[in-house]
């Protein structure tokens, strides 16, 4: 299978490049970038030196890309930009896995409230939000366009969805605190992201109406069978990669840790990329870096009757590019773990 990456020069694009260059069943045929068109891949991404197969960046032109002998495209573009490529590539019969938010939110009004105008609303009916461990498998036949989940949302939806579905936790008073590595902001050249500004610095940011809320709450509502409104407090941590998420939520009446873990086990028992740690342990981002895993654990506080749920993942792997490859694997009938271990 031939694959291409549109917008390959950002951080999630770079991880996609590395994963696909080493993938046993997909062949990376095209990497595109407006800025770097014409340059050798290795000039922009020296980390793949010697493994770059002589690839050069092509221009990010949707029509030209659609004409290439490529079966599946990954869109690693900013929100708003991806839709313009999807509206050319999907009608041309290409499979598309979009890593942006453009097709993650099914409700158009919600999308507009958080992101502004949508540039390809006509594709929403054929798009599927796919979190591989949670989305029922029919998408593998139905979808023409897959929206891969965001990094923060993955770290919230994976632990909470089975618990809301099973009624193990309250639907109210859910408080999510998440700490992300700096690559979560993308390769944005801004004073805020300079080494000297971020090293040894920890801070909350984007409180209230963070864009990812739209996706988190819409997805959780599907699992809960009713609306979910939660507090989402993102933080910037002095590290390159990783998200550590800590969720405090009241236990449902009578629900203990055994019930919680049983709900998780029902959803994830044999899934290689969701790992449950024993109660009492807490996942560490460092243990997930470079893997496609999300590690989850829970504790119960008898003083408050809250569950404290912790999750860790590599924001560029299970939180972005690794998960996108996992989606490609399932969509294409490959082993789920191909190229991911």
Residues 202-261 that bind its own copies (CB under 8 A): 202-205, 207-209, 229-231, 233, 235, 237-242, 244, 246, 248
Dihedral, CA of residue 9, residue 213, residue 285 and residue 189, to nearest 10: 30
Distance CA 42, CA 39 (A): 8
Which residue do the tokens 């805020």 mark? 192
Dihedral, CA of residue 243, residue 244, residue 250 and residue 255, to nearest 10: 100
Q: Which residue of 273, 319, 321, 330 would you call a contact of its own copies, by CB under 8 A? A: 273
Q: Which residue of 25, 53, 113, 187 would you call a contact of its own copies, by CB under 8 A? A: 187
Distance CA 102, CA 82 (A): 7
Q: Is 151 a catalytic residue?
A: yes
Distance CA 104, CA 4 (A): 21
SS3 of residue 168 by DSSP: coil
**Given the complex with its own copies, which of 213 and 263 has the nearer CB atom?**
213
The reply on whether position 23 binds its own copies by CB under 8 A is no
**Given the complex with its own copies, which of 246 and 332 has the nearer CB atom?**
246
Q: Which residue of 198, 212, 223, 318 would you call a contact of its own copies, by CB under 8 A? A: 198
Q: How far is the CB of 103 from its own copies (least distance, A)?
A: 24
The reply on whether position 182 binds its own copies by CB under 8 A is yes
The reply on whether position 336 binds its own copies by CB under 8 A is no
Q: Which stretch binds its own copies (CB under 8 A): 53-61, 115-123, 124-132, 303-311?
A: 303-311
Q: Do 261 and 279 touch, CB atoms closer than 8 A?
A: yes
Q: Which residue of 63, 109, 196, 253 would you call a contact of its own copies, by CB under 8 A? A: 196
The site for its own copies, by CB under 8 A, has a size of 73
**Given the complex with its own copies, which of 2 and 275 has the nearer CB atom?**
275
For the chain, how far is it from start to end, CA to CA, in angstroms? Answer: 20
SS3 of residue 57 by DSSP: strand
**Given the complex with its own copies, which of 222 and 244 has the nearer CB atom?**
244
Distance CA 95, CA 74 (A): 9
**Given the complex with its own copies, which of 69 and 191 has the nearer CB atom?**
191
Q: In the stretch 25-64, what mask flags binding to its own copies with x, by CB under 8 A?
A: ---------------------xx-xxx-------------
Q: Do 149 and 215 touch, CB atoms closer than 8 A?
A: yes
CA angle in degrees (0–180, nearest 5) for 43-48-53: 85
SS3 of residue 169 by DSSP: strand
Q: Which residue of 66, 126, 290, 336 would you call a contact of its own copies, by CB under 8 A? A: 290
Q: Within positions 92 to 151, which residues make up the interface with its own copies, using CB under 8 A? A: none
Exactly one of 151, 230, 239, 312 is catalytic; name it.
Answer: 151
Q: Which stretch binds its own copies (CB under 8 A): 63-71, 85-93, 172-180, 328-336?
A: 172-180
Q: How many CA atoms lie within 13 A of 271 on its CB side?
A: 23
Q: Which residue of 33, 219, 306, 323 would you call a contact of its own copies, by CB under 8 A? A: 306
Question: Which distant-in-sequence residues (6+ apart) come within 8 Å of 118 by Cβ?
Answer: 83, 102, 108, 111, 112, 124
Q: Which residues are catalytic?
A: 151
């Amino acid at each position: 299978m031939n694959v291409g990456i549109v917008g390959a020069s950002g951080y999630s694009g770079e991880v996609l490049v590395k994963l696909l260059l080493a993938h046993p069943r997909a062949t990376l045929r095209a990497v595109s970038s407006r800025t770097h068109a014409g340059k050798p891949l290795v000039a922009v991404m020296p980390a793949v030196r010697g493994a770059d197969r002589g690839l050069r960046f092509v221009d990010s032109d949707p029509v030209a890309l659609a004409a290439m002998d490529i079966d599946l495209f990954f869109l690693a573009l900013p929100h708003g930009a991806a839709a313009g490529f999807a509206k050319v590539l999907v009608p041309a019969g290409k499979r598309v896995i979009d890593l942006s938010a453009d097709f993650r939110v099914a409700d158009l009004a919600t999308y507009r409230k958080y992101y502004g105008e949508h540039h390809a609303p006509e594709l929403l009916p054929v798009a599927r939000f796919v979190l591989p461990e949670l989305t029922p498998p029919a998408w593998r036949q139905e979808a023409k366009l897959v929206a891969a989940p965001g990094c923060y949302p993955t770290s919230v939806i994976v632990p909470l969805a089975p618990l809301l579905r099973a009624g193990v936790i309250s639907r109210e008073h859910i408080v999510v605190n998440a700490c992300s590595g700096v690559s979560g902001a993308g390769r944005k050249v801004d004073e805020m992201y300079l080494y000297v500004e971020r090293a040894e610095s920890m801070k909350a940011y984007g409180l209230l109406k963070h864009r990812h809320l739209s996706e988190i709450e819409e997805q959780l509502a599907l699992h809960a069978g009713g609306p979910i409104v939660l507090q989402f407090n993102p933080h910037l941590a002095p590290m390159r990669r990783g998200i550590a998420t800590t969720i405090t939520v009241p236990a449902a009446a009578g629900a203990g840790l055994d019930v919680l873990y049983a709900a998780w086990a029902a959803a994830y028992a044999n899934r290689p990329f969701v790992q449950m740690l024993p109660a009492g342990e807490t996942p560490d981002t460092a243990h997930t870096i470079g893997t496609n895993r999300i590690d989850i654990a829970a504790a119960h506080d008898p003083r408050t009757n809250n569950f404290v749920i912790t999750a860790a993942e590599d924001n560029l792997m299970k939180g972005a590019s690794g998960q996108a490859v996992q989606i490609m694997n399932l969509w294409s009938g490959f082993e789920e773990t191909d190229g991911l271990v």
